[in-house]
Structure 1
Amino acid sequence: MILLPALAMSVGWGFRGDYGHEAGAMVPGALVALAVCLTSRRPDWWNRATIMAFLGAIGWAFGGQMSYGRVIGYTAGSQWIDVTYGYASLFLIGALWGGIGAGVLSLALTMKRSELERFVFPLAFLWAFWLAMDLSGLTEYSHELWSSYDVDWVAAVSAALVFSMLYRARPDFHRPCRFLLLLSIGWCAGFFILTPVLGLRMTPPRGDNWAGCVGLYLALVFYLKRAQNSVALRLSAYGFLFGGVGFLLGDLINMLGRSQWSIIGSWPMLQGLDYWKWMEQFFGLVMGAGIGWGAKSLLCQTEDQDRKLSEIDSNEFCSRVLAAPEEDTTARGFNFIGLVFLLVILPWKNLHKNVIQWQKEKWIPEEFWNMPAGFWFLVVGLLLSLAIIVAIWETRRQRLALIPDSNLGRAQWLFLLILWMSLAGDFSKALPRLAEKSVFLVQLSFWITGALCTLLVVRLKEDDQRLPQEGLTWSDRRWSLSLFTKLISVILTAALIGSVGWLTIQTHDEPLPGSHLRFE
């Protein structure tokens, strides 16, 4: 339960590095959520696989707006204060990424089905509103009006306006819109207080979306505390800690490779590699392992892992286990919207960049039969999207023989589809550059990791379910982390940041190429 989420997020984060931004980060978010779902041995979680994947994608998308290229440049310097500042900033960025992602994912494990279903229309309406703004040019025009800090303020403000409007429209929109409005206002407040008011800039002159994410994360924590959702706070804390540590240690690997430290400088086989990519994949590996570990702490464990649930009385081994989320409605609109998003919208948001690159590098003809080459890719994409939507609809009506009836089987299919669509798309993008040693090794690592994930997934069996007869509710205070654990985590993190900063400057005498100064 730790290995599969770690591998899934590692390869997903490698994909994110090639596609970037929010859409790229959705892939590892969906994969890690499904990995946790699949390995849980919980049929109640398998039943919510689509919701978990959808919320995982959305949760990790928030961090995709943060810029960190210049921060990594600080860690390539030769002054301890610059390097340590860079690592501290990377910890914060990674922590926000993991904390927000895990916090949003946890809603799928704790909310009633009826409460989740109320989010369908507000989220779909916001996506349609944003799409209309992009196509009309309103988004770009609004950014031109005020772009002093290069942040995504238009998305946050427009989201706040949309949810304010929907809140007044219907009473059943009140709870979801109140939560989504809180996140939007939190982003706006975090940015305006930290940057324009207090003048805090992490990576000048780059964008300061990090400040908005700080506000959003605090708003999320505030909401979870008000709701007394101890499980969500616990899982979010795991994501926060392991996300920060993963990014910090991943960049240390990047710096060791960039400085050609020790055996890296003496072994030809370790030279000329893309250590930036290894940083990304290690970041995903650690963060995914942390999410898996956090989810594992919510589940029933036995001393004899080979014994099946039918052979053990639940009271014998379930001293603390999360109760099943309440399925208080038969509505499945969230499942339909989630599948359309994951299998249609998500590939479009990422893989259209392949065609743009092929055109830019002249790997495809400019025209074919008097039509731009991009037009034919558009036709193919629309036909495939239509086929997928029809398949989803037929599956919903229980008329598609291709899809198994079991929830575990469907979750396995969804994981493998997202994984291999993403890897095949990334491979086709990188194919013309495979002669480069660094590109070849990265793609090879993607496929090896993907194959290992596939091997783990196809070995999962439905006859080893573990659903306890009773369990602790998500609001039980026994899920809360102790004050001692929190203090130790803070102390060890601070020591780790300082130590890694000191170790890094020992590997080189002069600033490395691409370094930046933060303090004169």
Structure 2
Amino acid sequence: MAFSRNRPSPIWHWQSVLLGGLSLSIGWGIRGNFGHEYGAAFAGCLAAIVIALVSGRSDWQQRVLYFAFFGAIGWGFGASVSYMQVIAYTMSGQSATQLYGYAALFYIGFLWAGLGGAGTTLAAVAERERLVKLFKPILFVFGIWFLQDLIEDPIAHALQSGIKLDHTASRHKSPLYWFDADYLAASTALLAMGVYDLLDQKSRQAVWLPAFAAAGASVGWLIQYLLHTLGLDQPLAALLTYPLGDPTYINPETGKLAFDPHNFLNNWPQWFGDYPTHIGWVVGLIIGLIAYFVRFGKFRNGASLIVYMASGWLLAFLALPVFGSLFFADYGGLRMTPPRSDDWAGITGVFIGMISWMRRHQLRPVAVASVISGTIGGLGFSGIQWVKHLLMAPGSPRILAGRGVSPDSPEFKTTVANWADWQQQNWHSFLEQSYGFVNGIAIVVALGFLATRIPLHKDHMPNKPAQGKWTLGVATVFVLLAIPYVNLIKNVEEWGKQLNPEVWTRTITQADGTQEIVPALWDVPYLGRLPGVDFLHMTPGAWFTLTWLLLLCLFIILIRRHSREPIALIPAYWLGKGQLIFLILLWLMIVGNFERALVNWHPDRILTEWGVTLNAILATLLVLTVPTEKAPILIQIPASYDPVYKQAWIRALLAMTVSVLFFWQTNRLIYHYPPHEKLDNSIHFRFGPEADWRARPNLKNAQHK
């Protein structure tokens, strides 16, 4: 079945396509400043709102908050994958590394847009009842992740007292460190689903849980005891362990071994080395708990989706960098960007788990849209990096050197000087915003394809009260408060670094006599200045959080009031509500992003801050003028999505193969790189004698790369 349209949906209008691209481009430009999952969630949220509004489908417009909620979650996943080193690979000049770099960028872009597309499409395809049921399991996950943030550091410090840990240069010293990956988040998500399942079932079978756990722990302890008694524990450990580095690497400057082999990290959690006698019973305990839920777990109301995705994360992580790398240790292992994070493996498992669940639960349109958006996202990430490199060609010292022009010649010096300002532009921001625009196009194409193939939902039946109205309130708080908060709270730290240190910071003396700079304490007005009162104060971050908690209280009051009697300010129709939500979220983040950049302003920031503001002005115009409340659309439901699904995968593989080869070859033709032995060793390489995993490994007693 070809990807043809039955009748042009409003999504295919050029203004709608432009708005979809702009929304994710704006979000991606801002995401580059805030980073990681929270920033990507904001970008995906904006684009999802736009898709619902411009669809011309009243049922999708009524679901605009669900689009925003699930779209944000879907786009957040891919942001955990490390990619800066992959970008550097494409510019390394080493042929194999460049080919690998373009392929890896396509793969990362595919995963990112594939999961983002799945989240957005789920809101468009699934029955409302299924969407409503998903909220409780998701809130359980959010809750346990909040608890994880509170207790992870205290647990790490308790297990490794006396060693200074942090979340930056010393994070690998934590006993919970494992490939710099988010395995704890995946594990606690499974734990949350276990707790949810126990509360949901309220079954007498729960009495078996302690028995399974105790049996598993006992068997695990016994196995480790027997292995130790028979002298097999050390050989087994050696068989299943490899160093995250090359013990034979020779320092080219000294001609001697560069690293002490005992200083390498390995492929197991740090606590395995710190507490080896506890491995058996802990692993056995975990297996016992898993066995219980395999036997008795129901995971209803969509909880099974989270189980599929979290289990997929852990299984892929174990299969690729942990165990799979044992067979490829001489090549740096099955690791995408050693020595950086291996979250790419976990996210691969999340994608596989998601696709498997969608196909099993009759949601194949979601799987189709995921592959379509993933393909375009992959082309966007690798393709925009290729375009960026082409635009940087004029005046490039590397091209001049490749043509044989001596760096000491007048031609070389004049050309480089003339193009110096061009070369020093904020090219990474160009990559971020342009790639974001392509991701927006990916969502437009994927949802545009389904807009005329998905039957209209009848979410609101006459004389029948809508179920799950509370989920709309949750989604509202998530979109308008939670997403801005988790991003903008990072501004406080930036202000503390750049503004008056006497106001924003203080110096404290630790027990060992060392001094540490920490956030200042600001007194509560009036009460905090009373004689003898020296405890009514908070850090700047705490004041910021308190303000948002007060806003949360306001939102709860207003949402409850609006559910009883509509507030006049809120539009009566969902199109207007969606436009209002989009504009509040958009401009709140535009202003917050500018506040972040203002304290350390440089003219180079114009490309980002002025660029996203200009795009936001255009997006505001488009979102208020392009969407219509209802458009005539001819719905033609395919007999089966299987042919489309297979064709989507074939096109994805062809797109990756052709585009990666094209980008790789044209880049090398334009840049005329020198021979391998003359390349700059300071550049990132994936292969060869100076590969990063060989020359720049993470070491126990050094800062994390």
Query: TM-score, normalised to structure 1's length?
Result: 0.88
CA 1:462/1:512 → structure 2, altered by over 3 Å: closer, same or farther?
Answer: farther
Structure 2 counterpart of 1:347, from 467, 484, 506: 484
Contact 1:343 1:388 in 2 (8 A): no
| C-alpha displacement of 1:457 | 0.6
The answer for the alignment partner of 1:194 in structure 2 is 320
- Is 2:594 the partner of 1:457? no
SS at structure 2 position matched to 1:145: coil
1:509 aligns with 2:673: yes
Residues 309 and 350 in structure 2, CA contact (< 8 A), matched pair in contact too = yes
* Identical positions, percent: 30
Quote how far apart the aligned CAs of 1:4 are: 1.3
In structure 1, give the amino acid aligned to 2:133: R
Closer/same/farther in 2, CA of residues 157 and 40 from structure 1, 3 Å limit: same
Structure 1 residue identity aligned to 2:178: S
Query: Which residue number corresponds to residue 36 of structure 1?
Result: 51
> Is the aligned partner of 1:295 residue 2:447?
yes
Is 2:563 the counterpart of 1:437?
no
Equivalent residue of 2:87, what SS? helix
Q: Does 1:152 align with 2:182?
A: yes
Mapped to 1, the partners of 2:136 and 2:126 lie a distance apart of 17
* Equivalences, count: 496
Q: CA deviation at 1:514?
A: 6.6
Q: CA deviation at 1:490?
A: 2.0
Question: What's the counterpart of residue 472 of structure 1?
Answer: 637
Within a 5 Å distance, the mapping from 1:65-464 to structure 2 comes to: 65-137=80-152, 141=156, 144-171=174-201, 174-199=300-325, 200-256=334-390, 260=394, 270-300=422-452, 321-327=453-459, 329-363=466-500, 365-366=503-504, 371=537, 372-434=539-601, 436-460=602-626, 462=628, 464=630
Cα deviation per residue 1:385-405 (whole Å; 9 max; x = unaligned)?
Answer: 333343333333343211101
The code of the aligned residue for 2:46 comes to L
- Give the Å deviation of 1:261: 5.5
- CA 1:396–1:486: 2 relative to 1, 3 Å: same
* Match for residue 61 of structure 1 among 65, 76, 80: 76
Deviations 1:173-229 (A, max 9, x none): 614111211111011111110111111100111110000011111111111221232
Equivalent residue of 2:650, what SS? helix
Please state whether the residue corresponding to 2:606 is helix, strand or coil. helix
Contact 1:261–1:507 (CA under 8 A) maintained in structure 2: no
For the residue of structure 2 that corresponds to 1:402, the secondary structure is coil
Residue 644 of structure 2 corresponds to 481
Q: Which runs of 5+ in 1 are unaligned?
A: 301-320
What is the CA distance between 1:485 and its match in structure 2? 5.6
- Is the 2:81–2:342 Cα contact (8 Å) retained in structure 1? yes
Contact 1:186/1:216 (8 A) holds in 2:
yes
Alignment check: 8 A CA contact 1:433 1:439 kept: no
Change (3 A) 1:80 1:407: same
Pair 192,488 (structure 1): closer, same or farther in 2 beyond 3 Å: same
Question: After the TM superposition, which of the residue ranges 40-49 and 334-343 deviates more from structure 2?
Answer: 334-343
Conservation of the 8 A alpha-carbon contact between 2:495 and 2:599: no
Partner amino acid, structure 2, of 1:290? A
Matched-pair contact (CA < 8 Å) for 1:150–1:208: yes
> CA offset at residue 381 of structure 1?
3.2
CA RMSD, 1 decimal: 2.6
Tell me which residue corresponds to 2:654: 491
Task: Report if aligned partners of 1:139, 1:154 keep a CA contact under 8 Å in 2.
Answer: no
Taking a change above 3 Å as real, the CA distance of residues 162 and 432 of structure 1, as seen in their structure-2 partners, is closer
Partner SS, residue 466 of structure 1 = coil
Contact kept? 2:379, 2:655, Cα under 8 Å: no
Whose helix fraction is larger, Structure 1's or Structure 2's? 1
State the distance in 1 between where 2:133 and 2:113 align.
25
Deviation, 1:483, is 4.5
TM-score by length of 2: 0.66
**Shift in Å, 1:333:** 2.2
Mark the runs of 5 or more structure 2 residues left unpaired by the alignment: 1-10, 12-16, 160-170, 202-297, 326-333, 400-414, 461-465, 505-519, 524-528, 530-536, 689-705
Asked if the contact 1:95–1:243 (Cα under 8 Å) also holds between the matched residues in 2, the reply is yes
Equivalent residue number for residue 263 of structure 2? none
Q: Kindly provide the CA deviation profile for residues 309-350 of structure 1, in whole angstroms up to 9, marking residues without a partner as x.
A: xxxxxxxxxxxx321235274322221111111111111110
* Cα gap change, 1:65 to 1:114, in 2 (>3 Å): same
Determine if contact 2:125/2:454 at 8 Å carries over to the other structure.
no
Kindly state the Cα deviation for residue 170 of structure 1 after the two structures are TM-superposed. 1.7
2:59, 2:458 within 8 Å by CA — same for their partners in 1?
Answer: no
How many Å apart are 1:451 and its aligned residue? Answer: 1.0
1:377/1:497 Cα in 2 relative to 1: closer, same or farther (>3 Å)? same
Query: 2:246 — aligned with what?
Result: none
Supply the AA of the counterpart residue of 2:322: P
Residue 302 of structure 2: SS of its match in structure 1?
A: helix
| Contact 1:134–1:140, Cα closer than 8 Å, also in 2 | no
